[in-house]
Amino acid sequence: MELKLYIMKRILLGIPMLFILLTVLFVILHIMPGDPVEALYGEKGSPEFLEEMRHRLGLDKPLLNQYFDYFSGLLSGNLGYSIHSGRPVIHEIIRTWPVTLQYCILTTLFSIFLGLFLGIISALKKEKIHDFIIRGISLVAFSLPAFWLGLLLQFVFCLRTGLFPLGGIQSLNLETPPSITGVILVDSLLTGNMVAFVDVLRHLVLPSIALAAQFVAVTCRVSRANIVETLGEDYITTARAKGASETVVLYRHALKNAILPVMTIWAWSFAGLLGGSIIIEKIFTLPGMGSLLFTGIMYRDYPLIQGILIFFAIITMVVSVILDVVYALLDPRIRYS
Amino acid sequence: MVWNVLKEIFSWQSKMTLFMIFGGLFIILVVLLSSLFSPFLAPYSPVSLDFKPLEPPNLENLFGTDLLGRDVFSRVIYGGRVSILIATLSICMSLCISVPLAGLFTYIGGRLDTLMMLLMDSLWVFPIYLLALVMTLLFGTSVVTMSMTIGIAFIPSVYRMVRSLSLTIKEQTFIEAERSLGASTGYIVYKHILPYTLPTLIVITSLNLAQAIIIVSSLNFLGFGIPPPTPDWGTDLCIGNRVWLGGSWWCTFFPGLMIFLTVAGFNLFGEGLDALLEKRKKF
For residues B26-44, one letter each, b for 16 or more C-beta atoms within 10 angstroms of the residue's C-beta and e for the rest, the string is ebbeebeebbeebeeebeb
Q: What would you report as the CA-atom Rg of chain A, rounded to the nearest whole angstrom?
A: 24
Q: Which amino acid makes up residue B137?
A: L
Q: Which residues of A fall within a CB distance of 8 Å from B140?
A: 33
Cα separation, A261 vs A226, whole angstroms = 8
B44 touches chain A (CB under 8 A): no
- pLDDT at position B125 is 66
B1 touches chain A (CB under 8 A): no
Contact between chains at A17 and B267 (C-beta distance less than 8 A): no
Interface test with B, best of A12, A25, A147, A324 (most B CBs within 10 A): A147
Residue A123 Cα, gap to closest chain B Cα (Å): 14
In A, minimum Cα distance to B123 occurs at: A21
Regarding predicted confidence, which is higher, A292 or A76? A292
Helix residue spans in chain B (DSSP H) = 2-10, 12-36, 38-41, 72-78, 80-108, 110-124, 128-139, 143-170, 173-180, 185-188, 194-221, 233-244, 250-282
For residues B236-254, one letter each, b for 16 or more C-beta atoms within 10 angstroms of the residue's C-beta and e for the rest, the string is bbbbbbebbeeebbbbbbb
Average pLDDT over all residues of chain B: 80
Angle ∠(A67,A69,A73) on CA atoms, nearest 5: 115
Residue closest to A109 by CA, chosen among A227, A220, A206, A208: A208
Identity of the residue in B129, B135, B210 whose CB atom sits nearest the CB atom of A272: B129
Cα separation, B133 vs B54, whole angstroms = 31
Q: What is the dihedral of CA A68, A72, A75, A77, to 10 degrees?
A: -120
pLDDT at B104 over 50: yes
Q: For residue A117, what are the β-bridge partners?
A: none
Count of CB pairs separated by less than 8 Å, A with B? 110
Mean pLDDT value across residues B30-35: 89
Residue range B242-272, pLDDT digits in tens: 777 777 778 888 888 989 999 999 998 988 8
Residue A188 Cα, gap to closest chain B Cα (Å): 31
Interface test with A, best of B21, B130, B203, B281 (most A CBs within 10 A): B130
- CATH 2.60.40 for the A94-309 domain, yes or no: no
Helix residue spans in chain A (DSSP H) = 2-31, 36-41, 47-57, 63-75, 89-124, 129-143, 146-153, 184-190, 194-231, 234-241, 246-248, 255-283, 289-298, 302-330
Instruction: Give A28's Cβ-side CA count (13 Å radius).
Output: 20
| Other C-beta atoms lying within 10 Å of the C-beta of residue A181 | 11
This complex has an ipTM of 0.83
First-residue to last-residue Cα distance in chain B: 10
Asked if A207 contacts A105 with a C-beta cutoff of 8 angstroms, the reply is no
Regarding predicted confidence, which is higher, A192 or A227? A227
The dihedrals phi and psi of B65, each to the nearest 5 degrees, come to: -125, 155
Instruction: Give A318's Cβ-side CA count (13 Å radius).
Output: 6
Burial class (CB in 10 A: 0-12, 13-18, 19+), A334: middle
Residue range A12-33, pLDDT digits in tens: 777 777 777 777 777 766 766 5
At residue B65, the 3 state secondary structure works out as: strand
Asked if B80 contacts B233 with a C-beta cutoff of 8 angstroms, the reply is yes
pLDDT at A166 over 70: yes
Identity of the residue in A148, A279, A309 whose CB atom sits nearest the CB atom of B259: A148
Contact between chains at B126 and A312 (C-beta distance less than 8 A): yes
Residue range B154-212, pLDDT digits in tens: 888 888 888 888 887 877 888 888 888 888 888 888 888 888 888 888 888 888 898 88
Mean pLDDT value across residues B98-108: 84
To the question of pTM greater than 0.90 for the whole model, the response is no
Contact between chains at B122 and A21 (C-beta distance less than 8 A): yes
In B, minimum Cα distance to A299 occurs at: B138
B125 touches chain A (CB under 8 A): yes
Cα separation, A15 vs B83, whole angstroms = 37
DSSP class of B47: S
Asked if A114 contacts A279 with a C-beta cutoff of 8 angstroms, the reply is no
Cα separation, B266 vs B214, whole angstroms = 11
Average pLDDT over all residues of chain A: 78
At residue A173, the 3 state secondary structure works out as: coil
Residue range A103-130, pLDDT digits in tens: 888 888 888 889 888 988 888 887 788 8
Residue A292 Cα, gap to closest chain B Cα (Å): 13
- pLDDT at position B26 is 92
Residue B239 Cα, gap to closest chain A Cα (Å): 13
Long-range interactions of B191-194: CB distance < 8 A, separation 24+: B193/B103, B193/B106, B193/B107, B193/B166, B193/B169, B194/B99, B194/B100, B194/B103
In B, minimum Cα distance to A129 occurs at: B13
Identity of the residue in B135, B218, B268 whose CB atom sits nearest the CB atom of A279: B218
Long-range interactions of A109-112: CB distance < 8 A, separation 24+: A110/A208, A110/A209, A110/A212, A110/A215, A110/A216, A111/A212, A111/A215, A111/A216, A111/A218, A111/A219, A111/A266, A111/A269, A112/A219, A112/A266
Cα separation, A99 vs A273, whole angstroms = 13
User: Could you give the C-alpha distances from B23 to A115, A247, B17, B199, B261, in angstroms and in order?
Assistant: 25, 37, 10, 19, 11
Regarding predicted confidence, which is higher, B91 or A171? B91
For residues A117-138, one letter each, b for 16 or more C-beta atoms within 10 angstroms of the residue's C-beta and e for the rest, the string is ebbbbbbbeeeeeebbebbeeb
Asked if A205 contacts A154 with a C-beta cutoff of 8 angstroms, the reply is no
Identity of the residue in A16, A33, A148 whose CB atom sits nearest the CB atom of B237: A148
Residue range A211-237, pLDDT digits in tens: 888 888 888 888 888 888 888 888 888
The dihedrals phi and psi of A269, each to the nearest 5 degrees, come to: -70, -30
Contact between chains at A21 and B125 (C-beta distance less than 8 A): yes
Contact between chains at B259 and A317 (C-beta distance less than 8 A): no
DSSP class of B56: P
At residue B71, the 3 state secondary structure works out as: strand
Q: Which residues of A fall within a CB distance of 8 Å from B224?
A: 297
Domain residue spans of chain A: 94-309
Contact between chains at B252 and A151 (C-beta distance less than 8 A): yes
